[in-house]
Structure 1
Amino acid sequence: MSHYSLLALSLLAQGTATDLGDGLLTVLPMDEFVPPVSDASSDLSLARIVEEVLDTLPTVDDFQPQFSQSNQVAQLSLDRPANLLPVMPQPATSAAAVEWRPVSGKQLYQQRLAALKEGKIYTRLSVNSFADRWTKAIEQPTHQQWQWLLELEAKAIASGQGKNRLNVLVGDSLSVWFPHDQLPPGKLWLNQSVSGEATRHILQRLHFFNSTQPDRIFVLAGINDLRQGVSNQVIIQNWRTMVETLRHKHPNSEIILQSLLPTRLEAIGNQRIRYLNGHLAAIAHQEGATYLDLYSQFTDDQGNLDRNLTTDGIHLSRQGYSIWQQALHEYENPQLLDRGYHAIEIEGAIRG
């Protein structure tokens, strides 16, 4: 059966709740799979095409996560209701299994695109799915193509969600590379993140998933603003606008503002990050959102990002993602919450 015949299998034909355990989605129009023009010989240059999307291009870093083979992924045994989605298989912990997954932007893009062409969503598949499509990926996707992919995935989820519960990740490269086999089970997950984007870029694409019905929206944004010299005032205002926009479009969704993580980069001071996190916590309090304090879980004795949790001083190692995974699991399962990830004294945080 061809890719496009599989796409014609609509899971909502009966109008009942769907079991998306195999990642299968409802039908999408064929013309949805025509990517944005990336040929330099086109009438419009690539630069002009991208400029139509954003006033200024973010610096998109083709980050390749360097997962240490010695870092073991936290294995959690969680009791979950069985009336929704089946629990995904536990990820293998062998060195070969850890390596057999996309490790570059072009590989991840091709894997996610291949899943869509088969009528599936990559977050419901094994990490090595469609390896024959992505292992030989050559062309680096443009920023516009990444945004197109996110919009297409959001449309697919909106069409095939049914009565299944949904969580959304919104952010930059830190969220892009969250290993989807470590996401809490029992729900659909939609990853709406693009490497290199600052808060102003994320604001411009929040409408991509307007038609979805998330239970929770997890936001982690702002580190690229610091790298690009954006002022505190602009970052804080963009965060507030982000929450207001999401609240307006998703009134029944819980919005979780995740704190900025510490870094090991001299150019990005952790004192400034703590100051901004205090304001982020205040915004969450004022706007009826939730503040999830990840920062304190990633610091060493000097207040910097623990060297064991990072590959380059800012991006996370596999061990780093295990810490984040634990935070999400405990947040999704309050009975496990014993470390106070989302508890913070707002006034003290603002003082930094």
Structure 2
Amino acid sequence: MIRILILAFGLFIAGNGLNAQAVKWDSTYRPPKYKESIDRFNAEPISANEYIFLGNSITASTNWSRLLGLPQAKNRGISGDITFGVLERLQEVIDRKPAKVFVLIGINDIARNIENSLIVANYQKIVSRIRKGSPKTQIYFSTLLPVNASFGKLKNHMGKDDRILYLNEQIKKLVARNVTVIDLYPHFLDENKHLKAELTKDGLHLNPEGYKLWAEILNNGGYLK
């Protein structure tokens, strides 16, 4: 339905000769391994006092249990996922009644031209649904990481620093909903306000040093206690 509306809007503009260009986006997009990942998550036994890390490939690309030395840390990252995908699979997380949920999501929404207002609304829905379904779960929302275009890769994710900054400001407002905000962004910045080259393998995804810094932020901030 949304896809049809967007295409119709584009045709409306073209048909009326307006000097504007419709930005196409698709809330129904799901990554190739989305269903496979969910099936694997659902098959995983529920344990007590779980710490769930929820997000996209930046979350998916490390072993949180090993990184943090916490057997109860569970990875719920799916490469390529967007906020709509997180909402679609959120019930599995809620049903586990985890002690903590750490969320980092939104950079793929930006790359897919999903509007800021919709991303923010989805952030709020994620929080509301966890609050309603698992009231005792502590929610931690991380700000989006910077990117670095000098690698010449992942061009859809680059050149949108203003959007990252805007969404990070909106994430910080989630504190009003009794959410703990973890401001990762400044820790990863270089002098040119880009993702530090030594912390990434392609300008977006982190390398082992990047994850080591992330772990230090979580430990030093007391978020894992």
**Would you say same fold, with TM above 0.5?**
yes
- Write the letter of the residue equivalent to 2:53: L
Cross-structure match for 1:144: 35
Say whether the 8 Å CA contact 1:270–1:303 is kept in structure 2: no
Q: Distance in 1 between matches of 2:104 and 2:71?
A: 20
Alignment equivalent of 1:178, drawn from 54, 62, 68: 62
1:56 aligned to which of 28, 32, 39: 28
* Partner SS, residue 239 of structure 1: helix
Which residue of the partner structure matches residue 209 of structure 2?
Answer: 319
Q: Quick one: distance in 1 between partners of 2:201 and 2:164?
A: 19
Query: Which residue of 2 is the match for residue 5 of structure 1?
Result: none
User: Counterparts of 1:166-315 in structure 2 under 5 Å?
Assistant: 166-180=50-64, 182-265=66-149, 267-282=158-173, 284-315=174-205
Tell me the SS of whatever aligns to 2:76: strand
Aligned to 2:152: none
**Structure 2 CA distance for partners of 1:57 and 1:246, relative to 1, 3 Å:** same
Q: Following the alignment from structure 2 to structure 1, what is the Cα–Cα distance between the partners of residues 115 and 29?
A: 18
Matches within 5 A, 1:101-112: none
Cα pair 1:262 1:270 within 8 Å, conserved: yes
Distance 1:280 1:55, change over 3 A: closer
In structure 2, the CA distance between the partners of 1:59 and 1:205, relative to structure 1 (3 Å rule), is closer
Structure 2 counterpart of 1:56, one-letter code: T
Q: Distance in 1 between matches of 2:224 and 2:208?
A: 24
Q: Displacement of 1:171 after TM fit?
A: 0.4
Give, as a single letter, the amino acid of the residue that structure 2 aligns with 1:202. V
RMSD (CA atoms) = 2.1
The answer to whether the 8 Å contact 1:169/1:175 transfers is yes
Is the radius of gyration larger for structure 1 or structure 2? 1
Q: Provide the C-alpha distance between the structure 2 equivalents of 1:288 and 1:307, rounded to a whole number of angstroms.
A: 34
Q: Which amino acid aligns with 1:143?
A: Y
Identity of aligned residues (%): 27
Q: 1:325 Cα shift? A: 1.1
Work out the number of aligned pairs and report it: 193
TM-score normalized by the length of structure 2: 0.79
Give the SS at the match of 1:301. Answer: coil
Q: How far 1:145 sits from its partner (Å)?
A: 1.1
Q: For residues 26-81 of structure 1, give each alpha carbon's deviation from its aligned partner in whole angstroms, at most 9, with x where no partner exists.
A: xxxxxxxxxxxxxxxxxxxxxxxxxxxx9733345xxxxxxxxxxxxxxxxxxxxx
Check the 8 A contact 1:151/1:209 in 2, yes or no: no
CA distance in 1, matches of 2:222, 2:195: 25
Q: CA deviation at 1:329?
A: 1.7
Deviation at 1:262, TM superposition (A): 0.3
* CA apart distance, 1:179: 3.0
Q: TM-score, normalised by structure 1?
A: 0.51
Read off the aligned partner of 1:264 and give its amino acid letter: N
Q: Larger deviation: 205-214 or 309-318?
A: 205-214
Q: Is the 8 A contact 1:280 1:291 kept in 2?
A: yes
User: Residues 55 and 288 from structure 1, CA distance in 2 versus in 1: closer, same or farther, beyond 3 angstroms?
Assistant: closer
Hey, what does 2:21 align to over in structure 1?
A: none
